[in-house]
Amino acid sequence: MHPGLGPVAEARVLYVEQLRLVERLQTHRGEFVIWDFGLGAAANVLTVLRALQGMKVPVQVVSFDHTLEPLRFAYRHRAALPYFADYETAVEQLLTDGQATGGSGPESVRWLLRVTDLPAFLEQTAANSLPKPHVVLFDPWSPARNPDMWTAPLFANLHRLLDPSRPCVLPTYSRSTLLRVSLLLAGFWVGTGRAIGRKEETTLAANRSDWIELPLDRRWLERAERSQSAEPLWEPVYRQAPLSSVTREKLRQHPQFLTNTSGLIDPE
């Protein structure tokens, strides 16, 4: 599942180091909110919380998954998975009560769990009551294995739920063209992310252009227009297709390709 690196090292590179979370929380004011799409065996969340130990900032994590079986299985074998160390009580509370507080991470941590059909949930009015995120950990199975989580409507609904006045960044391990096109059409600014393991690059999306250090440029757009696997998934059925004329024109009109955009991630 994490070739050449392992889940903890991958999470550290993709989420902690790439997003400069420790530096960011040193100057952050108020609660810091993380959405976790694809809880799985909890390696991402626990790696992030461990990195933030000692930070004097309250943190709220909202984890989503359609099943808890991967977490239950991993927790039963926690002796072989060191990332559970010091967080056994929190994981047990999460599995029993659907939420956990305290732990050995930041000064105040509240970890909430939603076992649900996420694509359907994001379309419901109840999603509007979620605390608005500063970071989205996006780690579902691949589009071929789990197309429900990679459709253009899902990313559009996700972008709609963000607070435009609150910068939010979404890293993910995939570099697929159809993913990046879906994010762009949803309203995100999109760039290349850090290499992890055998992947030479990943993807980073944000609701502000200055959070993307290496934005996709017109040369990428030209390659996307030639790709045979670029059209977003409009339904939860995996398939490969070139860009439609409508999608191509929408991409060309995205502000990212009408201006020269660059900059470092804002630490505020």
What integer pLDDT is reported at residue 4 of this predicted model? 52
Q: What angle do CA 210, 61, 168 make, to 5 degrees?
A: 10
What integer pLDDT is reported at residue 262 of this predicted model? 43
Average pLDDT, integer, range 184-208: 96
CATH number (1.10.357.10, 1.10.540.10, 3.40.50.150, 3.20.20.70) of 7-258 reads 3.40.50.150
Contact 232, 185 (CB under 8 A): yes
What integer pLDDT is reported at residue 198 of this predicted model? 84
Q: Bridge-partner residues for 34, per DSSP?
A: 61, 135
Q: Could you report the per-residue pLDDT of 93-128, keeping only the tens digit for each? A: 999 999 999 754 456 899 999 999 999 999 999 999
What integer pLDDT is reported at residue 77 of this predicted model? 97
Contacts by 255-260 with C-beta closer than 8 Å and gap 24+?
255/209, 256/184, 256/189, 256/190, 256/209, 256/215, 256/216, 257/217, 257/218, 257/221
What integer pLDDT is reported at residue 28 of this predicted model? 95
What integer pLDDT is reported at residue 5 of this predicted model? 74
pLDDT at 201 over 60: yes
What integer pLDDT is reported at residue 54 of this predicted model? 84
- Return the minimum-mean-pLDDT range out of 53-62, 67-76, 178-187, 200-209: 53-62
Handedness of CA 240, 70, 42, 36 (dihedral sign): positive
pLDDT at 236 over 70: yes
The CA distance from 90 to 74, in Å, is 14
Look at the pTM and tell me if it is higher than 0.85.
Answer: yes
Q: Bridge-partner residues for 261, per DSSP?
A: none
Answer with the residue of higher pLDDT: 174 or 266.
Answer: 174
What integer pLDDT is reported at residue 266 of this predicted model? 39
The CA distance from 194 to 92, in Å, is 33
Percent of the chain with pLDDT over 90: 88
Average pLDDT, integer, range 170-185: 97
What integer pLDDT is reported at residue 44 of this predicted model? 97
Contact 10, 202 (CB under 8 A): no
pLDDT at 56 over 90: no
* Distances from the Cα of 241 to the Cα of 93, 227, 232, 234, 246, angstroms: 44, 8, 8, 11, 13
Position 53 confidence tier, pLDDT thresholds 50, 70, 90: confident
Count CA atoms closer than 13 A to 190's CA, side-chain side: 29
Domain boundaries, the chain: 7-258
Task: From 106, 25, 17, 30, select the one nearest 268 (Cα to Cα).
Answer: 25
What integer pLDDT is reported at residue 108 of this predicted model? 87
The CA distance from 47 to 222, in Å, is 37
